[in-house]
Structure 1
Amino acid sequence: MWTKILLVDFHPFAIVFYRCLFGLIMLLPIIFMKGLQKQLIPTKSLIFTAALGAAIPWTLMTYSQQYLDTTISGIINALSPILTIILSVLLFKKQANFSEWISVGIGFSGMMMIFLFQQHFEASNQIVGTVILLCAAACYSLTSLLTDKYHQAVSPYILAVWTLTIAVVICGLLAFIVQPDHIVHVLSPVHLLIFVIFGMLSSGIGYVLFYYLVHEGGPVFAVFVTFLMPCVTFLLGAVILDEVITWNMGAGLVLVLTSIMFLTKGKQKRSWKHVKKHYQKSI
């Protein structure tokens, strides 16, 4: 929703630059307050993982919003857990259990239901937007998998800071090239308020929580929250942006949410004491 509003005055590169910049403004004081500044020295693998975490997917996601409704975007993002399972098998040779494969089938069935009855879908730019957004979702999946495999010992705060820093550098340079006057637009009170919410909360605190979930529950568990996005986008898209919700979109959403049961089946739940102990240790 914020992206669609900002696209009126900002290039996608500028949107990603400012949301990451405001996220850094939120996190850097916390890093120094917790004495984590000595851990800020990155490795090559950490830089690569950080680039996949924000700079690439957020730019792709912002471009996709020029072609897709908010409701459709939220549902496509919900494919992240399914893509994570597939990529873990293909790239990391991990064995997926029966319940995970069932969830893949149900999830893709939901996506087919959503798009099957879309009027003029084939003749519109929605196909382009869908492909772009699927690439962004794949980046999220790879980020969670690489973090779980190579960066378990790195604090979620450090991971979040580097994810936002890489995006600020890359998208900041590109933003000044393609839209030199973006600074004028960001000074608007409305835009400034949006970037405070979008950047500090959604991007800054949001990524700390994301990496924390990777540490505690694994890559699939971390991207599991994307299943909640269609519920929110349905409401926001209909109430605020006057977008139409069709019956097949609702049916597809039910199928996607049903796959949650199979994703969580057999997963070992960790006690709150364990979570609290690990969290205190990591910070």
Structure 2
Amino acid sequence: MDKNKLKWVYLFLLSIIWGSSFILIKKGLVGLTPIQVGSLRILFSAVFLFCIGFKYVFKLNKEQWKWTAVSAFCGVFAPAFLFAYAETEIDSNIAGILNSMVPLFTILIGFIVFKIRFKGNQLAGVIIGLIGAVLLIFQGARLNPDQNYYYSLLIILASFLYATNANVVKSKLQDVSVMAMSVGNFVLMALPAFGILIYSGFFDTYNLQQPKVADSLVFVAILGVVGTGITIMVFNRLIQISTPVFSTSVTYLTPLVGILWGVFDGEYFGVYHFIATGVILFGVYVVNFKRYKKKEIPRPHPLD
């Protein structure tokens, strides 16, 4: 399959998996604390990636390790905890919607820090998608007035870090093996995550025989292996074969999947949600729109 078609396959695959991550975090928080959800998510991912590709990390040189560390912190470590804490106060759907700010941050960071140019249609598409996200936020706030929206700042910070990671991968790790980069992320983050898990009292306080804890561990294990371990490889590859803006436009599609999970879980989804969803999808289209010039067919000269 050529890269142009493959990038769309990756985009929709990521949207389905990441869109499901928000409900998995919510279910994980039933029996675990936010700090435990974050650290266990990283550790489950690390074990999975170590098993399938530990040998690849030896292909990274000193300079690549430096940028892999930046990628690990921005794309894996910090967001795992920020999302878990945010979803203790705000709805999982709102968390997914706020995460759609990633493409906007990607353009800004890419232009200011990495000198990556962007096209007018990309900026326009990002703004259109952001308008759709704002519509969804206001609708969520109207339906859930008891939620603490200060915690939404944690999602905005995580979105900023995701955008930073996308630009780092594209600018500094473009030629690095996807497997080496992905496993390298967790080689660096596994030990800190394990230390945090010990500090949280997980091994001292919790009885794994308790139904809530056991169920939450299952949800976090799925989140770690599928929602983080597998998707980080797909996402890193997507960045390499496309652009940071195209790659992060997946965050415009993930809320749609999250909303569907919310409806399945008994949450309300009305007409305004449909309208905002349409705006978001139109924004994704505009971001990735390419104008092709028609080839002019030479007309025969009158004297020919």
> Shorter-chain TM-score: what band?
0.7 to 0.9
Root-mean-square deviation (CA, aligned residues, Å) is 2.5
Listed as ranges, the matches of 1:263-282 within 5 Å are: 263-266=287-290
Q: Report the counterpart of residue 276 of structure 2 in structure 1.
A: 252
Task: Specify the SS of the correspondent of 1:79.
Answer: helix
Which AA in structure 2 matches 1:228?
L
Task: Specify the SS of the correspondent of 1:13.
Answer: helix
Question: Could you tell which deviates more after superposition, 182-191 or 154-163?
Answer: 182-191
Which AA in structure 1 matches 2:155?
L
For 2:208 and 2:114, the matched residues in 1 are separated by: 42
Deviation of 1:161 after TM superposition, in Å, equals: 1.6
Structure 1's 111 and 183: CA in aligned 2 closer, same or farther, altered over 3 A?
A: same
Structure 1's 259 and 24: CA in aligned 2 closer, same or farther, altered over 3 A?
A: same
Task: Specify the SS of the correspondent of 2:113.
Answer: helix
Among 246, 249, 261, the residue aligned to 1:221: 246
Listed as ranges, the matches of 1:204-243 within 5 Å are: 204-240=229-265, 242-243=266-267
Deviations 1:40-61 (A, max 9, x none): 5652222122111111111111
How many aligned positions are there? 264
Structure 1's 183 and 88: CA in aligned 2 closer, same or farther, altered over 3 A?
A: farther
Listed as ranges, the matches of 1:4-43 within 5 Å are: 4-32=26-54, 35-39=55-59, 43=65
For 2:124 and 2:164, the matched residues in 1 are separated by: 21
Deviating above 6 A after TM superposition, structure 1's stretches of 4 or more consecutive aligned residues are none
User: Is the Cα–Cα contact under 8 Å of residues 114 and 249 in structure 1 kept in the other structure?
Assistant: yes
Larger radius of gyration: 2
Deviations 1:62-100 (A, max 9, x none): 111112212212211222222211221232233321101
Which AA in structure 1 matches 2:240?
H
Deviation of 1:204 after TM superposition, in Å, equals: 0.9
Which AA in structure 1 matches 2:278?
V
Structure 1's 203 and 267: CA in aligned 2 closer, same or farther, altered over 3 A?
A: farther
Q: Report the counterpart of residue 274 of structure 1 in structure 2.
A: none
For 2:152 and 2:122, the matched residues in 1 are separated by: 24
Q: Report the counterpart of residue 61 of structure 1 in structure 2.
A: 83
Q: Report the counterpart of residue 104 of structure 2 in structure 1.
A: 82
User: Is the Cα–Cα contact under 8 Å of residues 13 and 172 in structure 1 kept in the other structure?
Assistant: no
Which AA in structure 1 matches 2:58?
K
| Matching of residue 73 in structure 1 with residue 98 in structure 2 | no
User: Is the Cα–Cα contact under 8 Å of residues 141 and 223 in structure 1 kept in the other structure?
Assistant: yes
Please, which runs of 5 or more residues in structure 1 have no aligned partner?
Answer: 269-283
Q: Report the counterpart of residue 70 of structure 2 in structure 1.
A: 48
Please, which runs of 5 or more residues in structure 2 have no aligned partner?
Answer: 1-22, 293-304
Listed as ranges, the matches of 1:145-156 within 5 Å are: 145-156=167-178
Among 216, 221, 225, the residue aligned to 1:200: 225
Q: Report the counterpart of residue 142 of structure 2 in structure 1.
A: 119
User: Is the Cα–Cα contact under 8 Å of residues 106 and 244 in structure 2 kept in the other structure?
Assistant: yes
User: Is the Cα–Cα contact under 8 Å of residues 99 and 156 in structure 2 kept in the other structure?
Assistant: yes
Task: Specify the SS of the correspondent of 2:249.
Answer: helix
Q: Report the counterpart of residue 301 of structure 2 in structure 1.
A: none
TM-score scaled to structure 1, two decimals? 0.83
User: Is the Cα–Cα contact under 8 Å of residues 132 and 279 in structure 2 kept in the other structure?
Assistant: yes
% of aligned pairs identical?
A: 21
For 2:34 and 2:189, the matched residues in 1 are separated by: 12
